């Protein structure tokens, strides 16, 4: 959602670069945490906790779809400033979210390097889709509807 919204307002390339960098760093932290967690807790407990948290985040996303958003206006910003802003926004918005919890859970039972690479590539692809959607679809679909759709998915 952050990529979608930022790309609707700003240039696509710095938004995408900031998102990929943020996700690479967040996934690194999640993989390190998940690997350490695997040494302390039984795998069933980790799986149960990840499942419960994932459902809770989905319900939260469905509920947050009722918030009214203001119309988007485009602005211009420097590439470096936009990259840093995107990095910080995604870093703060995604820290401890359902994706990071899932990555930590996977890293507790699978090869951490493969989990980091797979999760980072997957999030880079979804960020690219979000940037594309922000440049095209968000001009026609309200943000509250997008929140509901993402929560259901």
**pLDDT for res 69:** 46
Do 82 and 14 contact (CB within 8 A), yes or no?
yes
Phi, psi of 11 (to 5 degrees): -65, 145
Q: Where are the domains of the chain?
A: 2-152
Higher-confidence residue: 146 or 92?
92
* pLDDT tops 50 at residue 104: yes
3 state DSSP class of 95: coil
The answer to whether 50 and 105 are in contact (CB under 8 A) is yes
Residue 111: what are its φ and ψ, rounded to 5°? -65, 120
pLDDT digits (tens, 9 = 90+) for 59-78: 766 776 554 444 444 445 56
pLDDT of residue 74: 43
pLDDT of the residue at 72: 41
pTM for the structure as a whole: 0.66
């Amino acid at each position: 959602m952050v990529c979608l919204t930022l790309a609707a307002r700003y240039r696509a390339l710095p938004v995408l670069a900031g998102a990929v960098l943020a996700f690479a760093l967040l996934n690194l932290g999640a993989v390190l945490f998940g690997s350490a967690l695997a040494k302390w807790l039984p795998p069933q407990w980790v799986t149960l906790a990840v499942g419960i948290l994932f459902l809770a985040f989905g319900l939260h996303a469905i509920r947050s779809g009722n918030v009214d958003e203001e119309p988007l206006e485009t602005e211009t910003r420097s590439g470096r400033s936009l990259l840093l802003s995107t990095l910080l926004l995604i870093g703060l918005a995604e820290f401890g979210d359902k994706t990071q919890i899932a990555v930590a859970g996977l890293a507790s039972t699978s090869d951490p390097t493969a989990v980091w690479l797979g999760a980072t590539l997957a999030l880079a692809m979804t960020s690219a889709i979000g940037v594309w959607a922000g440049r095209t679809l968000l001009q026609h679909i309200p943000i509250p509807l997008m929140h509901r759709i993402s929560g259901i998915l």
